[in-house]
Structure 1
Amino acid sequence: MKAPLIATGLLAFSALAARAELPVLTVLTYDSFTSEWGPGPQVEKAFEEACACDLRFVAAGDGAALLARVQLEGASSEADIVLGLDTNLTAKAAATGLFAPHGQPAATALPVAYDDPLFLPYDWGWFAFVYDKTKMPKPPASFEELAASGAKVVIQDPRSSTPGLGLLMWVKAAYGERAAEIWKGLADNIVTVTPGWSEAYGMFLAGEADMVLSYTTSPAYHRIAEQDDSKDWAPFSEGHYLQVEVTGILAATDQPELAKQFLAFTQSPAFQAVIPETNWMYPASATKLPDGFEDRRPEKSLLLTADEAEAARGPALEEWQSALAR
């Protein structure tokens, strides 16, 4: 009886040894991407079938925390790729000098023209406030209506979260010099500010807030995955701010060709088809959307350029902090 057991053990050891010899590609990304319900597991399996490599995801909080970690680690970072920044952070990321050109053609299915030599989009969506239709029959239809209402909302910290930063840019793009006034009006509505999206959405689902900063596509998860049509997003008359999520190669990578192969893979059907029902965002290349994924789109889109967002970030953060400190 011992011989089969020994043979099985040798086979397992051989498999582990063979895997240990594979080149390793490390992707730094946000928590929800690597979760069991996120894109990470499917992406890892599909890419490893094509690359003869070991793809490893390292989670580092929410999107905006990724750049902070890369800046802290600098050229000594073990990551080869950063996945999860967005266009509100790309100018700041480029200024670090830590990213290398990706060499890929522009993404083909964005609602705006976007072609950056350092950062390649892999998905996109509109920010929105999500609510429960059974508890809020008539949601606010603008930031001003929200501020005047008694609705309690939970949002994300713009210093650690890309949705949180996107909200700052949304208010700034919609109201310009009136942004500080809008934040003063909204301060009483904000129940709490969480480090990332997952914590905020969890609080909303637990009934701790009437609305949560999320995406127009968030209700699709409930419709498709849970057969629950009770969640919706509130259309705002100011328009809705776009988020374009991107990935970039770190210049210090010791796997430059493998990194470029992965970025090319992010535009392929094998990657893009996973996005709608795992990351619950729009794919960046032409991909058929699942039934029930969307029922309508915002009538107006808002988006600051990367340079405009970088210039606006500091003043917008000061306005936000001042309003919430009162």
Structure 2
Amino acid sequence: MRLSARLALVALASFAGIASAAADTPKLTVYTYSSFVAEWGPGPKITPIFEQQCGCKIEWVGVGDGAGLLAKLKLEGDRTPADIVLGIDTSLTAEAAATGLIAPHGIDAGAVKLPVAWDDPNFVPYDYGYFAFMWDTQQLKNPPQSLADLVTAGAEPKLLLEDPRTSTPGLGLMLWLKSVYGDKAADAWKGLAPKILTVSKSWDEAYGLFTKGEAPLVLSYTTSEAYHVMSEQTDRYKALVFPEGNYMQIEVAGMLKSSKHPELAKQFLQFLVSKDFQTVIPTTNWMLPVIDGATPSEFATAAPKPQKALLLPADEVAKHRAAWIKEWLEALGQ
């Protein structure tokens, strides 16, 4: 056999071996929100860490925002190719569990430290934060000092908000007003209505408009201030902490009952509460980690802590969410 022919056979065999190894590598499919897998998000940083640990490949599927994730799972049902859903929060966990698609995780979440007790058998928390209005100090001299100031009738200052039907921050604001104003939440929305410049489908869209100078206030998180201080070295943008309290968001992940790789899915959920994952979260997802020892020291001053944390029970939100969204639509005349 000629040398060239032997080399060709060796190359072919080598290629076949590589292809076979690739075919044998299990793939874990993770549904999450788009910003998680953006080039600046946690996804690209944690992927090589977990893939080395699991001997698998992660396939990320970015699906808008948290509310969009739940809608996609409902649409696909038990035919979903997802092994993991990552990015819904406690405003949606009861509704997600009610689909029957989520399997109990069965992992050790003893390292989790949150401002509230956590014992959900279906979902693992991986970060948390507090909703806040971010204030552009160059556009607005005197920001509102309270939620009551903000909902006072008038057309100024202009606000950028997110839609509670498609965005977890948008849903968070709806629950924030409901927590503070209860049966009078519709009146609070009517007070906000003249100030609203636009209601975006996602946080990404609304925050992009904010940083372009379209309005001096946007619904975001207290930790957004830390982002600007630590990544952009600017104190132009400030998070407003209100005396009535700021609404808390706890983001979670769960495994699908239909997962083709349940053991890998459990390994991934355990990874979420490890130091390898948690130390990545603060400066990529710009949220607070759920274990001790993973928060950057700069967060102590750059991410203001609310005077009061507000959080409605997940089952109460699931019971009333449709009615509260209808109330929101009617109050804004949509």
Q: Same fold (TM over 0.5)?
A: yes
**Taking structure 1 as reference, are residues 310 and 12 closer, same or farther at Cα in structure 2, changes over 3 Å only?**
same
Name the residue aligned to 2:42: 39
> Which segments of 5 or more consecutive residues in structure 2 lack a partner in the other structure?
none
**Is 1:277 the equivalent of 2:280?**
no
**Taking structure 1 as reference, are residues 21 and 134 closer, same or farther at Cα in structure 2, changes over 3 Å only?**
same
Name the residue aligned to 1:82: 85
Shift of 1:135: 2.4
- Contact kept, 8 Å, 1:276 with 1:289, in 2: the verdict is yes
Cα distance in 1 between the residues matched to 2:8 and 2:271: 40
Larger radius of gyration: 2
1:299-318 superposed matches below 5 A: 299-318=307-326
**Is 1:58 the equivalent of 2:69?**
no
1:131-170 superposed matches below 5 A: 131-148=135-152, 150-170=156-176
- Contact kept, 8 Å, 1:131 with 1:210, in 2: the verdict is yes
TM-score when normalising by structure 1: 0.94
Q: Give the one of 297, 310, 332 matched to 1:324.
A: 332
**Is 1:197 the equivalent of 2:203?**
yes
Name the residue aligned to 1:213: 219
Cα distance in 2 between the residues matched to 1:27 and 1:240: 30
Q: Give the one of 91, 95, 116 matched to 2:120.
A: 116
Name the residue aligned to 1:292: 298
Shift of 1:32: 0.2
How many residue pairs were aligned? 326
Name the residue aligned to 1:125: 129
Cα distance in 2 between the residues matched to 1:5 and 1:137: 73
1:17-51 deviation digits (Å, cap 9, x = unpaired): 42332011000000000000000011111100100
**Is 1:184 the equivalent of 2:187?**
no
Q: State the superposition RMSD in angstroms.
A: 2.1
Cα distance in 1 between the residues matched to 2:20 and 2:225: 45
User: What is the letter of the counterpart of residue 38 of structure 1?
Assistant: G
TM-score when normalising by structure 2: 0.92
**Taking structure 1 as reference, are residues 320 and 21 closer, same or farther at Cα in structure 2, changes over 3 Å only?**
same
Cα distance in 1 between the residues matched to 2:14 and 2:235: 49
- Contact kept, 8 Å, 1:183 with 1:319, in 2: the verdict is no
- Contact kept, 8 Å, 1:220 with 1:294, in 2: the verdict is no
Name the residue aligned to 1:103: 106
1:33-92 deviation digits (Å, cap 9, x = unpaired): 000000001111110010011111101111110000000000100100100010000111
Cα distance in 2 between the residues matched to 1:253 and 1:313: 28
